Amino acid sequence: MWKAFLPEGSDRNHSVVNVFGPNAVDISGVKFPATLLFVGGFDPLQDWQKRYHEGLKKSGKEVHLVEYPNAFHGFYCLPVS
């Protein structure tokens, strides 16, 4: 999927997908809405999501983290039945 989305020769540190990584640009001056971030405890991407949360906070953005320890990736998109 990375190869289909990113420019040739890029990796996961490209600023589009790793917003607060080594190639990041300063977003502190960008108008940004308040953000509510949900993270599942069984999500293999939870470390990336938590780094995103920290990056938003360090950039002065309003962000709220809600953790669901027994949830998986994308759990909030599934209907409750």
How many domains, the chain? 1
Q: What is the pLDDT of residues 53-76, one digit of tens each?
A: 999 999 999 999 999 999 999 888
Q: Domain range for residue 53? A: 2-77
**For 52, how many CA atoms within 13 A lie in the half-sphere containing its CB?**
17
Output the pLDDT for position 39: 96
Burial class (CB in 10 A: 0-12, 13-18, 19+), 28: exposed
Range 31-51 average pLDDT: 95
Question: How far, in Å, CA of 69 to CA of 24, rounded?
Answer: 29
The band of 81, judged by pLDDT with boundaries at 50, 70 and 90, is low
Indicate the pTM of the whole model.
0.83
Name the DSSP class of 78. S
Output the pLDDT for position 80: 75
Output the pLDDT for position 65: 98
